[in-house]
A and B are shown apart, each in its own frame.
Chain A
Amino acid sequence: MKLINFEFLKLRKKSRGWLGPILVFILIMTAFPLTVEILNSNLEQAFFSVLWIATLLVMMLATEDIFLEDYNDGTLEQTAIKYDSLALLVAIKIFVYWSLIGIPISLIGALYAFGITGSIESALQILPVLIITTYIFLNIFSFGNALSLTKGSILGTLITMPLVLPLLVVLGKVVIAINLGISFLGFLFLLLGILSIIILILPMVISFVIKAHLE
């Protein structure tokens, strides 16, 4: 649809919007082995924690002006006048951000997983988890950004951080499952379930919040 093309065009040309977060992610993941002694056996265990934290941080960075920019230059108003419900636009925007930022980060993260642990299986197992988790983070942080549209993005991020913490607990369990070699399909389905609920509900909530801001 036209909307998808427009949003892709907007994000694609704004290179600091998608390249920035990816580069920050690479920076963090590269800095990690440098700060710890390489060949340390604990490297593998600490690696996954650093991976989740880096993903969290980078998703936070990526959504800093997902709606803020459109709000400030008036584009959001025009869309609000044209369409009754902004839910579709919000969902499309988040999807575009996920494809241009979330998926590359997942691939790079899986690559680093392969590099550190040396096993291609764990890398292939972590890939779908990363893909789903980046989408969930993106949704939640966009919600935070929408809430604090007029007050700067820091407030929004701080407020939605508590919603993200339970997810980190689940991710920790996933890592344990992978390390012990037991099937983690259950967790994957749990994450998929969370994602499907969030995808259906959050765009409508965010649309309501944005409309309230425009008033």
Chain B
Amino acid sequence: MKKILAAENLSYSINEAKLFQGLSFELHEGNALHVLGSNGSGKTSLLRIISGLTKPTRGIIKKYNTKNICFVGHKNALKQYLTVEDNISLLEVDKHIDLNIFLEKLELNNLLDVMVANLSYGQQKKLALLRVFLNDSDLLVLDEPCVGLDKNSKNILCSFLRDQKEDKKALIFSSHLSLDIDSEFINLDKVTS
């Protein structure tokens, strides 16, 4: 099994306040990692370090065999003043073969010329998650992906993620709810000393 990610002795602190330290783990393809922790324990920071946005205070992250990373964070990365269709074209996935299938499943195909600002919170979240459904990356990093989704959409997302796991992709996510995915756990509350 190919190794996707290796973290050694990661520590992160903001202005001398330590969030976590001495964190080491490995991730192989086809595996999932569930990051747990109470509010403010550094889950989002850890995911941002993994995706390359933030640099850890100490320690290193090594990535192997990843050409792309798919990241979904707290912000939706949608342009509020553009329509759904325009946003999809900005995602660069409009030639994807499965686009219409997922648009139907997520009930977005009737909303193509609605401005994103006029969509509900859950609909915007579903649109933001479209980049997950149509990704071509080896590593998926998701920060609280199920917030705001209704039960149906949550099931669609979880079954899709299980399929991605079968497809030999690596998965890291943080979620307060259980996603029904076979994963190892990292508990940031236990790592902080």
| B181 close to A (CB within 8 Å) | no
Contact A214 B82 (CB under 8 A): no
Cβ–Cβ contact A214 & B86, under 8 A: no
Q: How far is the CA of A13 from the CA of B75 in the complex (A)?
A: 21
At the interface, yes or no: B51 with Cβ under 8 Å from chain A? yes
List residues of chain A with CB within 8 A of the CB of B90.
Answer: 6, 9-10
Could you tell me if B86 and A9 are in contact, using CB atoms closer than 8 angstroms? yes
Please pick, from B68, B73, B92, the residue contacting A74 in the complex, using a CB distance under 8 A.
B73
- Least CB distance from B57 to A in Å reads 11
Cross-chain contact B53 with A214 (CB below 8 angstroms): yes
Q: Please name all residues of chain B whose beta carbon is closer than 8 Å to the beta carbon of A82 when the two chains form the complex.
A: 68
Other-chain contact of B54, A2, A10, A72, A215 (Cβ < 8 Å): A215
Knowing A72-B75, A74-B75, say if A214 contacts B81 (CB, 8 Å): no
Which residues of A are found within 8 Å of B73, using beta-carbon distances?
A: 74, 77
Kindly list chain B residues whose C-beta atoms are within 8 Å of the C-beta of A215: 53-55
A73 touches B77 (CB 8 A): yes
C-alpha spacing A78/B92, complex, angstroms? 12
Interface centre among B69, B71, B74 (most CB of A within 10 A): B71
Considering the chains assembled together, what is the distance between the CA atoms of A13 and B117 in angstroms? 14
Report whether A10 and B79 are in contact in the complex, using a CB–CB cutoff of 8 Å.
Answer: yes
A65–chain B nearest beta-carbon distance, Å: 12
The number of A-B residue pairs with CB atoms under 8 Å apart is 49
Within 8 A of B (CB), among A65-123: 72-75, 77-78, 80-82
Interface size on B, residues (CB 8 A): 22
Q: Are B86 and A77 in contact (CB under 8 A)?
A: no
Q: Which residues of A contact B75 (CB under 8 A)?
A: 72-74, 77
Given A6-B90, A10-B90, A74-B76, do A81 and B81 touch, yes or no (CB 8 Å)? no
Asked if B79 contacts A75 (CB within 8 A), the reply is: yes
Nearest chain-A residue to B71 (Cβ)?
A81
Is B118 positioned at the interface, with any CB of A under 8 Å from its CB? Answer: no
Q: A6-B90, A9-B86, A9-B90 are in contact. Are A77 and B55 (CB under 8 A)?
A: no
Residues of A within 8 A of B51 (CB): 81
B52 within 8 A of A: yes
- The minimal Cβ–Cβ distance linking A193 to chain B, given in whole angstroms, is 36
A151 located at the interface, meaning its Cβ lies under 8 Å from any Cβ of chain B in the complex: no
Residues of A within 8 A of B82 (CB): 9-10, 13
Alpha-carbon distance between A37 and B147 when the two chains are bound, in angstroms: 63
Whether B77 lies near A81 (C-beta < 8 A) is no
Type the 1/0 row for B78-104, where 1 means its CB is closer than 8 Å to any CB of A.
111110001001101000000000000
Q: Which residues of B contact A73 (CB under 8 A)?
A: 75-80
Instruction: Give the distance to chain A from B24, nearest Cβ to Cβ, in Å.
Output: 21
Interface residues in A1-48 by Cβ distance below 8 A to B read 2, 6, 9-10, 13-14
Contact residue among B55, B71, B81 (Cβ-Cβ distance under 8 Å from A14)? B81
Determine if B79 and A81 form an interchain contact, defined as CB atoms under 8 angstroms apart: no
Q: Which residues of B contact A9 (CB under 8 A)?
A: 82, 86, 89-90
* Chain B: CB-nearest residue to A215: B54
Query: Could you tell me if A13 and B77 are in contact, using CB atoms closer than 8 angstroms?
Result: no
| Chain B residues positioned under 8 Å from A74 (CB to CB) | 73-78
- List the B residue with the shortest CB-CB distance to A71: B75
Known: A73-B76, A81-B69. 5 other contacts (CB 8 A): A14-B81, A72-B75, A74-B76, A77-B73, A82-B68
Name 27 interchain pairs, CB-CB below 8 A, sorted by A.
Answer: A6-B90, A9-B89, A10-B79, A10-B82, A13-B82, A14-B81, A72-B75, A73-B78, A73-B80, A74-B74, A74-B75, A74-B76, A75-B77, A75-B78, A75-B79, A77-B71, A77-B73, A77-B75, A77-B77, A78-B71, A80-B53, A81-B51, A81-B52, A81-B71, A82-B68, A215-B53, A215-B54
